[in-house]
Amino acid sequence: MPHDVDPPYVVSLSYHPQLFLDDHCIGRIDNLVRRVQQPSKFAGNPILAAEHPWERLHVYRPSVIYEPGLDRFRMHYTTIDGPKPNGLSAKCYAESDDGFTWRKPISDAFPYRGVPSNIVAGGPAHGIRTPHDPRRPYVAVLQKVGIGAAFSERGIAVASSINGVDWQVERRITDTKCDTVPSIVWHEPVGKYFVYTRAQARHPMLEGHLRVTGVMESRDFESWTPKRAMNLITEAEGFPYVQAHALTAHACGDMILAELPIFHLEKPGNNFLCHCEIQLATSRDGWHWQRVADGQVFLPHGPDEWDRWYVHSTSMTRKGDTLYFFYNGRPQKHGALRELRERGENVETRSPESMIGVATLPAERFLAIEPRDSTAPGILDTPPVRFDGRELHVNAAIDPGNLQVELIDEQGPTVQFQSKPLPGFEAEHSRLVRHDALRFRVVWSSDGNERSLGDAPHDQPIIIRFQLRGGQLFAFQVQ
């Protein structure tokens, strides 16, 4: 059935890629489906495993930033050397030239029980580069501040860095329970920082503190709102036996894109034993979230033994046109070793409990628009849009003959896709010109003339219509 956005609205297109993760750029859609694209897990995973005494129990929570000037990936990650409550936690540093093969620089700066290590004074649970604040070119949210500290589940702090390696803690922003990995993002459209962490909820069907998402915001990195809770999982979707364990936020053009580790609890009355997969969600204001494609899985657990039952998100970075997702994996279900310990069984031989892997995805290709029925064209109309660019590019995996693009006079009749195309911009006159490995440039050729988007009228809103007969459409962009 066609999908109508009601009431009609006009979208001002930025120069960012316009993804189809939500309905913001979808006015009408027919004979098309949305499919989440799963990133490719590296065949050599795990890329970081336990090899030192301070890494014995956990190697997890990677925060990775690719530095174009150095052509290098830099990672801070967390280690724990033994079980709670006595296990000691530390922040460690590693670096890589390609994102797959990592080295752990060893020094005497912060020894572990007298032994040189790659432990650092402090580091982010999740850190990012900031495009707008020269005083804070890097910002981060931290847990377990300090060296060799006992494992703690309470409170987080924000920090900044001049070089992305040495971090200065600026302030604690909450002392509440925050035992899952937090994330931080700067969302340019609203001019705010957001921090996402753990919050708690109650439900009569399941005893204990249930996992929901905590949110804090700041305009200046100094004054932060108190943590407020939100729940992205409805009872119809299985809550409380389906829970969002964290929200890892990333700036993604006009929206915030989040990875959601989803816990699927497996026993009645048991709030711990579960397997975990990763889904996607998006927001345009930092507070209101939409799950992508009805909760289709983005990063599944397994099939390898090291991440057999559990994957958890922490970091996304980009090099060129490749996105890198660094994540935690476990060979056992969440809560499985806890049950064994409570029965008095020795689980030390099962260490480490978690390791780090990487998966990759071509830029912008989180979700594909595909024809539902290949015997008829699929049609996607944008809402009425305004723009001031001159080129229209599409990110698509397609035979160029299977995608036609038409510009529609928004003021003309539009009933069940019957509408008035702008002269010279009819679908039959459009063609795709290869721009790079992922994208095509859209042009219109008729009467011996070639037109681009910049030749279309700019004094009125128009509708961009995509007619798809095969292949996959991921995004469009006004250049």
Where do the domains of the chain lie, and which CATH numbers do they carry?
Answer: 11-36+367-478 (2.60.120), 40-362 (2.115.10.20)
Gap between the Cα atoms of 451 and 39, Å rounded: 36
pLDDT of residue 7: 40
Question: Residues 215-223: what's their mean pLDDT?
Answer: 97
Given a contact cutoff of 8 angstroms between Cβ atoms, the answer to whether 192 and 224 are in contact is no
Token pair in block for residue 382: 């944008």
Report pLDDT digits (tens) over 86-111.
Answer: 788 899 999 999 999 999 999 999 99
Amino acid in position 44: G
- What is the length of the chain? 479
pLDDT value at residue 416:
53
**Nearest partner of 198 among 217, 215, 184, 185, judged by Cα:** 215
Q: Which helix (H) or strand (E) holds 64?
A: strand 58-67
Q: Measure the CA–CA gap between 236 and 3, rounded to whole angstroms.
A: 22
pLDDT score, position 412: 54
Q: What is the pLDDT of residue 5?
A: 44
Work out the average pLDDT over 403-419.
74
Determine the Cα angle at 215 with ends 84 and 188, to 5°.
125
Higher pLDDT, 194 or 180: 194
Q: What is the pLDDT of residue 185?
A: 98
DSSP-assigned states of every residue in 255-322: EEEEEEEEEEE-STT-SS-EEEEEEEEEESSSS-EEEGGGG--SB---SSGGGSSEEEEEEEEEETTE
Helix H or strand E segment including 243: strand 242-244
Residue 415 pLDDT > 60: no
Mean pLDDT of 393-402: 97
Q: What's the mean pLDDT when you consider all of the chain?
A: 92
Encode pLDDT of 44-76 as tens digits. Answer: 999 999 999 999 999 999 999 999 999 999 999
CA 300/CA 278 separation, integer angstroms: 6
Q: What is the pLDDT of residue 417?
A: 53
Stated pTM of the model: 0.94
Percent of the chain residues past pLDDT 90, beyond the cut: 81
CB within 8 A of 162, min separation 6: which ones? 137, 138
| Range ranked top by mean pLDDT from 80-84, 174-178, 462-466 | 462-466
Q: How far apart are CA 212 and CA 221, in angstroms?
A: 24
- For residue 374, the model assigns a pLDDT of 85
pLDDT of residue 8: 59
Say which residues have a Cβ less than 8 Å from residue 127's Cβ, sequence separation at least 6: 63, 65, 76, 138, 139, 140, 141, 161, 164, 167, 184
Question: Given this model, what pLDDT does residue 448 score?
Answer: 83
Q: In whole angstroms, give the CA distance from residue 243 to residue 209.
A: 11
Query: pLDDT band at 255, cuts 50/70/90?
Result: very high
Q: How confident is the model at residue 239 (pLDDT cuts 50, 70, 90)?
A: very high
pLDDT at 143: 82
Higher pLDDT, 386 or 347: 386
Is the predicted pLDDT of residue 140 greater than 70, yes or no?
yes
Question: Residue 364: what pLDDT?
Answer: 98
Give the pLDDT mean for 243-248.
Answer: 97
* Residue 302: Cβ within 10 Å count: 16
What mean pLDDT is predicted for residues 112-121?
Answer: 94
Average pLDDT in the 130-149 region? Answer: 81
For the record, the structure tokens of 204 come out as: 């009569």
